[in-house]
């Protein structure tokens, strides 16, 4: 890179800085390869950076070469990019050169010299326009991917809704489920408990999106309407159903505990229908 730009440069080990320090007036910027430094070199590095900054010399730290092709818009495309110290992203040769240019311009200005941009402004603008276009393209792909995942999550959630409603003499059932988003914090169910009893509920989880939808799935599994012991069973009253659900929610681990701590909860109405009489028992919580 520096040869292409026809700049004078010298590669020196960290231990030689004591000698270089006497001629800092000749230095425009410093690029330091920090990969594989031992403890003593890391300690020296901190003092070196401090000394350079006191002389208004910009420092660029390169933590590693990365085997990630990054397109270059002004130089020959490289097979590797660079990981800059203090960041988690890779930068191309172009971006590295822009940082070098800024440091050189700052050094010249602080030394009272006339500053000439080391890289043409239009070229800098073109580099960052292309980078912005790439980032926007990646962002758009991520948004599309997230939307598809939410759509699939919504289909999975709807699979937990009843597909067949119980038949009962003198009663007709009808349901409509229209979530405002792909996933919903609302859920209902209608099940035949035995030949005499039908149980159904409607629940609404506070909030929207994935967290609320996950809690509805937990609700579907945790809300029990009868207890079976060996060959006999007992139908829970609506009050018992709500009490047992609350106990199960309180006993859950990390997800629900964090969910409840953030003041999220659900409200539900559970009804038991005795189809022989008919009598409705209702409990809301």
Q: For 159-166, which contacts have Cβ atoms below 8 Å and span 24 or more sequence positions?
A: 160/187, 160/216, 160/217, 160/220, 161/187, 161/188, 161/189, 162/188, 162/189, 162/190, 162/191, 165/190, 166/190, 166/191, 166/192, 166/198
- 189 touches 220 (CB < 8 A): yes
Supply the pLDDT for residue 103.
74
Is the bond preceding residue 278 a cis peptide, omega within 30 degrees? yes
Q: Where are any strands of DSSP class E within 27-114?
A: 29-33, 58-66, 81-84, 90-91
Q: Give the pair of three-digit tokens for residue 170.
A: 């003198």
Q: How confident is the model at residue 66 (pLDDT cuts 50, 70, 90)?
A: low
Supply the pLDDT for residue 264.
61
Give how far the C-alpha of residue 168 lies from the chain's centroid of Cα atoms, to the nearest Å.
Answer: 48
pTM of the entire predicted model: 0.48
Q: Among candidates 154, 146, 141, which has minimal Cα distance to 186?
A: 154
Range from 107-121, 142-156, 191-205, 253-267 that averages highest in pLDDT: 191-205
- 161 touches 202 (CB < 8 A): no
> What CATH number does the domain located at 160-284 have?
3.60.40.10
Q: How confident is the model at residue 184 (pLDDT cuts 50, 70, 90)?
A: confident
Q: How confident is the model at residue 202 (pLDDT cuts 50, 70, 90)?
A: very high
DSSP code, position 165: P
Residues 141-180 pLDDT 10s: 777 777 788 888 888 888 888 888 888 777 888 888 888 7
Domain ranges of the chain: 14-119, 160-284
């Amino acid at each position: 890179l520096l040869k292409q730009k026809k700049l004078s440069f010298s590669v020196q080990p960290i231990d030689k800085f004591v000698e270089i320090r006497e001629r800092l007036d000749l230095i425009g910027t410093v690029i330091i390869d920090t990969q594989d430094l031992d403890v003593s070199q890391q300690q020296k590095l901190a003092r070196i950076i401090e000394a350079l900054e006191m002389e208004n010399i910009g420092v660029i730290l390169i933590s590693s070469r990365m085997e990630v092709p990054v397109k270059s818009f002004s130089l020959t495309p490289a097979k590797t990019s660079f990981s800059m110290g203090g960041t988690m992203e890779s930068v191309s040769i172009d971006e590295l050169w822009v940082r070098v240019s800024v440091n050189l311009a700052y050094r010249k200005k602080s030394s009272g010299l006339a500053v000439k941009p080391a890289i043409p402004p239009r070229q800098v603008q073109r580099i960052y326009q292309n980078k912005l276009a790439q980032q926007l393209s990646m962002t758009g792909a991520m948004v599309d991917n997230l939307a598809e995942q939410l759509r699939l999550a919504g289909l999975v959630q709807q699979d937990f809704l009843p597909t067949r409603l119980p038949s009962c003499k003198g009663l007709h059932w009808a349901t409509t489920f229209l979530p405002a988003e792909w996933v919903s914090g609302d859920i209902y169910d209608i099940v035949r408990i035995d030949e005499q009893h039908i149980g159904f509920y409607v629940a609404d989880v506070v909030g929207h999106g994935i967290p609320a939808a996950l809690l509805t799935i937990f609700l579907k599994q945790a809300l029990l309407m009868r207890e079976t012991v060996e060959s006999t069973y007992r139908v829970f009253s609506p009050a018992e159903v709500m009490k047992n659900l609350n106990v199960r929610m309180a006993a859950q681990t990390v997800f629900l505990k964090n969910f409840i701590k953030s003041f999220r909860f659900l409200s539900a109405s559970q009804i038991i229908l005795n189809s022989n009489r008919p009598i409705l028992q209702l409990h809301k919580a």
